[in-house]
Amino acid sequence: MIDATAVIHPSTIVEEGAVIGARVHIGPFCYIGANVEIGEGTVLKSHVVVNGHTRIGKDNIITQFASIGEVNQDLKYAGEPTRVEIGDRNSIRESVTIHRGTVQGGGVTRIGSDNLLMVNAHIAHDCVVGNRCIFANNATLGGHVTVDDFAIIGGMTAVHQFCIIGAHVMVGGCSGVAQDVPPYVIAQGNHATPFGINIEGLKRRGFDKEALHAIRAAYKLLYRSGRTLDEVKPEIEALAEKHAEVKPFYDFFARSTRGLIR
């Protein structure tokens, strides 16, 4: 079903069964598969492929040569009707690739809203990306990676399968992330190691001085005290009880499956 207000270039192929919402604009030489749903106000500039069981929300901008919902690169994939789900107001730039999920990984690759995916970024199968994240040029996620809200992944950075990137994290360019990065942390290098708290980013997002001091104290306990994680957990938990902003940092320990960067 194609809404009457949608504008579709005559060179574009829209397979029967696709749902194209109001005010969608699809430029030349795009391909839209039969199981695709595109929400109102979304723009596909040109030469964009959207395939598979893919749902794209409202007011996204997707530029040329992006490929969304295609067959993933997991050798276990056997053609199951797995999905891609994308929220609203994302900017998906040239040659970005977003692959459908796998049955073994939950069946869906999910991207939230208000994200910027720069040129040639790659989101592999079963990844979960939150809201207001930035992926710089050539940033790459392996399968099953989780990236929480407000994270920034630098250019030419690769994140290993199953890693978790916490909220408000900044990963510097040309890094290799092989373990989980707790919230608020700046990470850099191959393999990535911690370099302090993302203070400037947190200030821009409204964190006050008291919250910043508490987060910095938790960071120092984990990374500067010379003690093990088990040894510092009670003190970080006590900080989290006094300061809500520390709670995501403490809760991250239970979420981590690959161990924390050190």
Q: What is the DSSP string of 155-201?
A: TT-EE-TT-EE-TT-EE-TT-EE-SBB-TTEEEEEBTEEEEEE-HHH
Question: How many residues are there in the chain?
Answer: 262
Please, which residues have CB within 8 angstroms of residue 187's CB and are 6 or more apart in sequence? 169, 170, 171, 172, 175, 177, 181, 193, 194, 195, 261
**Catalytic residue check, 126:** yes
Which one is catalytic: 87, 143, 166, 172? 143
Residue of 74, 88, 126, 148 marked active site = 126
Q: Give CA angle at 96 (92, 102), nearest 5°.
A: 105
- Of 239, 201, 244, 242, nearest to 219 by C-alpha is 239
Q: Catalytic: 143?
A: yes
Q: What token pair was written down for 11?
A: 């060179």
Please, which residues have CB within 8 angstroms of residue 222's CB and are 6 or more apart in sequence? 182, 229, 232, 236, 260
CB atoms within 10 A of CB 22: 12
Give me the catalytic one of 99, 125, 144, 243. 125
CA 166/CA 182 separation, integer angstroms: 5
| Structure tokens, 98 | 């977003």
Active-site residue, 9 included: no
Backbone dihedral angles phi then psi of residue 239, each to the nearest 5 degrees? -60, -40
- Residues annotated catalytic, as ranges: 125-126, 143
